[in-house]
Structure 1
Amino acid sequence: MRAILLLWLLAIGDSKPYEPINAMDYMSNYDTMMADRPASRRGLDRPASRWGDDDNDIDDDDDDDDEDCPSGCQCFPHVVQCSDKGLISIPEKIPEDTRMIDLQNNDITDIKENDFKGLKDLYALFLINNKLSSIHPKAFKDLGRLRLLYLSYNLLTQVPANLPPNILELRFHENRISRVQKEAFKGLRSLNVLELGANPLANSGIELGAFDGVATLYLGISEAKLTAVPKDLPSSMTELQLDYNKISKVEIEDFKRFKNLQRLSLGFNQIKSVENGSLASIPNVREIHLENNKLRKVPPGLSSLRYLQVMFLHGNKINYVGVNDFCPSRDSDKKSQYSSISLFANPVRYWNIPPTTFRCVAGSRGVQLASNFRRK
């Protein structure tokens, strides 16, 4: 069941993290969420209404009058929904059996020490699009079962201290974080998805040891101020997104630690060169994005990547494609055929590319070609 939960998280993680989420989508995945709970508690307190018997449905018109529901919010079994309410602080009297709190699109400026006191069963906390600038170091002390924490679209300048230890998905997209301090994520050994994109984060702002002990599978630092691939990222990653930065080159040391990497996104940077041997360090990669950069040739080493299926190179300055740039000389060396190679919006004369160049591509539509030159 943990594998199912991870696939669900990664599917959500592939969507744009700064868009407001629909909490009802998470409610519909209640069974998946509860699969991660201890077996001794699983199924003993399953709510009625949306996830139980139809005859126990809640009348929404009475939610605001429920003395067990925070003022101005709507309450469902184990769910408190307070989005778009103009709140300036965390509401009081949140029921202790709450597992999901939706506080999106409010004007909350800070989180105090006791705002979530006693919420030991809380699973998901959504604070997207508020005005958060400070979080008390002990604000999460009771949230030992918290798995999803969304803090995107706020005014935070640093990663909060003492994050819940069992967190699975953590999002800080579009804040004002310019520094990730040493051991910022210490103890988060269950963390699978970490989103830090759209922050003014430069290479110098990532302190050595910032990701020590983290087994993150997905890491996003797109739309930041990176000028090179950071050297101290989690070695466990299967997906790394660094699009829309100012990275100018890929060096042989950049990916040596990431043997499990399967998806690499470096589109919309300023990359002029990929050092020979750089991509050989990620032998299990399935998908590489290098579109909209300044490459003048196909990156070396693609033909040695046995499982590579998607290669985006459109919008570069590539003017030549060699017959062995994508495919190995022996067919048996390629374990997975390409499903997509994009080379459009490059100055290469596509009619000069030998057809055998794409001998390891599945189907006639697997290659997208175009030219900036016209026949005269």
Structure 2
Amino acid sequence: MRTFMFLSIVALCSAKSLLQNEFLHFLAEHDVMQQDPPQNTSDIIIQPQTPTPPPTLDDLSFTCPLKCVCQVRVVQCSDAGLKSVPQRIPKSTVMLDLQNNKITEIKETDFKNLPWLYALFLINNQITKIHPKAFRSIKHLKLLYLSWNLLPQIPANLPKSLVELRIDDNKIKKIQKEAFKGMTFLHVLEISGNPLDTTGIEPDAFDGVMRLIYIRISQAKLTSVPKNLPANLYELYLDHNKISSIELEDFRRYKDLYRLDLSYNQIKDIENGSLAYLPHLRQIHLENNKVRKVPAGIKDLKYLQAVYLHNNDISKIEVDDFCPKESSIKKILYSGISLFGNPVKHWEIQPASFRCVSGAYGVQFGNFRK
């Protein structure tokens, strides 16, 4: 994963500062470069090989499309008022930036002569339609950003070489059957900001997707935790939805999760035992919900380091809510527990309640204000 991200940064270094800043912000926000390695060698992520385009006359002498700026194998056409994909893009192009334009449709032949394309950015256009054969000749595409468009569904026949797909803030209401068929290298999927509810994710939508480790479905219309996402997820973000409760079977499938975000929902109840399926969890976000007590099972998560419970309805902290009675059960001490914005009276809490927290500033309270 680190190798892939390093190569991505190298490829983006020739692009406009706006794109650089956005991509580096994405890395920082998601802590991609600092993630812990997989526990088992069988979990090691395998990256598809990316062949280098052979030197051609195209690299030395080419005509840059109108309103674009071209460097060697990088074509920058953002903020140019384009209504369609420009023609005569150099064949050896590795990165094509078309963000912030007025493109409404991707035609069958738009990328026909770009076999070496590695990264394609179509962010913030007005795209409503992508031809089913538009990506047919792109065999090495790794990054595809389609955010902030008007797409009604996941495009058909996406390149099987994709490692990262961002399609947030569109009009997608449904993830259709086998939407990602054959995409065995897909690691990152961002599909937030779409009017997608739980029933809109078809049972077979992720069949064959074996290496997807990061999914964000934020700011959607989910009313419960989806139960048919890939089982090998490391990170799952479901914040800013309408989830009202966590049921016993919700996380049975996601035993590899180490980061879970359920913040900004309407969660009141978390069923006993529902967190027992997450033995490797290191960080959980439950802030800005309606949780009334510390979830049962928190204390049994031996690797859990950060718990976000601020801005809820917790009125009491029991002495064993966070720390197990047997200290040997907890393998890693908490680095942070946030409890501010709850009606709990912190002076009534026994100090032993936080005996497994590292550092004097590991617990955050603050004044409760209604």
The answer on whether the counterparts of 1:9 and 1:169 sit within 8 Å (CA) in structure 2 is no
Query: What letter corresponds to residue 21 of structure 1 in structure 2?
Result: L
Paired residue for 2:330?
A: 334
Q: Distance in 1 between matches of 2:47 and 2:198?
A: 35
Confirm or deny: 8 A CA contact 1:178 1:202 kept in the other structure.
Answer: yes
Q: How does 1:171-190 map to 2 (within 5 A)?
A: 171-190=166-185
Are the counterparts in 1 of residues 167 and 192 from structure 2 also a CA contact under 8 Å? Answer: yes
Is 2:368 aligned against 1:372? yes
Which one of 103, 106, 110 corresponds to residue 105 of structure 2?
A: 110
Q: How far apart are residue 70 of structure 1 and its match?
A: 1.1
What is the alpha-carbon distance in structure 1 between the residues aligned to residue 118 and residue 183 of structure 2? 15
Gaps of 5+ in 2: 10-17, 28-32, 34-45
Partner of 2:267: 271
- Measure the CA separation in 1 of the matches of 2:253 and 2:114: 39
Tell me the TM-score normalized by structure 1: 0.85
Instruction: Select which of 113, 118, 121 maps to 1:123.
Output: 118
2:145 equivalent in structure 1: 150
The code of the aligned residue for 2:253 comes to R
Equivalent pairs, count: 341
TM-aligned CA distance change 1:220 to 1:9, over 3 Å: farther
Q: Go from structure 1 to structure 2 and tell me whether the alpha carbon gap of 1:197 and 1:119 turns closer, same or farther (over 3 Å shift).
A: same
Structure 1: 5+ residue runs without aligned partners? 11-19, 50-57, 59-65
In the aligned structure 1, how far is the partner of 2:296 from the partner of 2:114? Answer: 53
CA distance in 2, matches of 1:201, 1:9: 29
For residues 3 and 319 of structure 2, the distance between their equivalents in structure 1, rounded to whole angstroms, comes to 41
> Which residue of the partner structure matches residue 5 of structure 1?
4
- Give me the whole-angstrom Cα distance separating, in 1, the residues matched to 2:76 and 2:307: 42
CA distance in 1, matches of 2:353, 2:230: 35
Structure 2 match to 1:22 = 20
Change in CA separation of 1:25 and 1:204 when aligned onto 2, cut-off 3 Å: closer
CA–CA distance in structure 1, aligned partners of residues 231 and 47 of structure 2? 25
* TM-score using structure 2 length: 0.87
Question: Is 1:244 matched with 2:240?
Answer: yes
Decide whether aligned partners of structure 1 residues 190 and 373 sit closer, same or farther in structure 2, where only a CA change above 3 A counts.
closer
Q: What CA distance in whole angstroms lies between the structure 2 residues aligned with 1:36 and 1:297? A: 43
Distance 2:21 2:114 in 1: 18
Identity %: 53
1:1-376 correspondence to structure 2 within 5 Å: 2-5=1-4, 21-22=19-20, 38=49, 41-42=51-52, 67-214=62-209, 215-372=211-368
Q: Structure 1: how far apart are the matches of 2:48 and 2:92?
A: 14
Change (3 A) 1:372 1:298: same
Structure 1, residues 146-171: CA drift from partner, whole Å, max 9, x if none? Answer: 00000000000000000000100000
- In structure 1, distance between residues paired with 2:182 and 2:257: 22
How much does 1:370 deviate? 2.8
Q: Which amino acid aligns with 2:19?
A: I
Superposed CA deviations along residues 314-361 of structure 1, whole A, max 9, x for unmatched, are 000000111111111122111111111000000011011111111111
Q: C-alpha deviations, 1:78-133, integer Å up to 9, x for none?
A: 00000000000000001111000000100000000010002111000000000000
What is the CA distance between 1:22 and its match in structure 2?
Answer: 2.9
Tell me, yes or no, if the aligned pair for 1:104 and 1:127 is still in contact at 8 Å.
yes
- Against the structure 1 CA distance between its residues 273 and 92, is the aligned structure 2 distance closer, same or farther, given a 3 Å change threshold? same
Give the drift of 1:237. 0.6
Distance in 1 between the 2:131 and 2:291 partners?
46
Residue 110 of structure 2 contacts residue 134 of structure 2 at CA under 8 Å; is this kept in 1? yes
Contact 1:349 1:373 in 2 (8 A): no
Question: In the superposition, relative to structure 1, how do residues 352 and 9 fare at CA in structure 2: closer, same or farther (>3 Å)?
Answer: farther
The CA RMSD measured in Å over matched residues stands at 2.7
1:323 aligned partner, one-letter code: V
Does the 8 Å CA contact 2:214/2:235 hold for their aligned counterparts? yes
Q: Secondary structure at the match of 1:83?
A: coil
Deviates more, 1:327-336 or 1:167-176: 327-336
Deviation, 1:3, is 4.0
- Between the aligned partners of 1:74 and 1:7, the Cα distance in structure 2 is 24
* Separation (CA, whole Å) in 2 of partners of 1:8 and 1:282: 32
CA distance in 2, matches of 1:3, 1:9: 10
* CA deviation vs aligned residue, 1:166-199 (integer Å, no higher than 9, x gap): 1000001100101110111111111111011000
Segments of 4+ in structure 1 off by > 6 A? 7-10, 23-26
* 1:104 aligned partner, one-letter code: Q
**2:62–2:90 contact (8 Å) kept in structure 1:** no
1:23 Cα deviation (Å)?
7.8
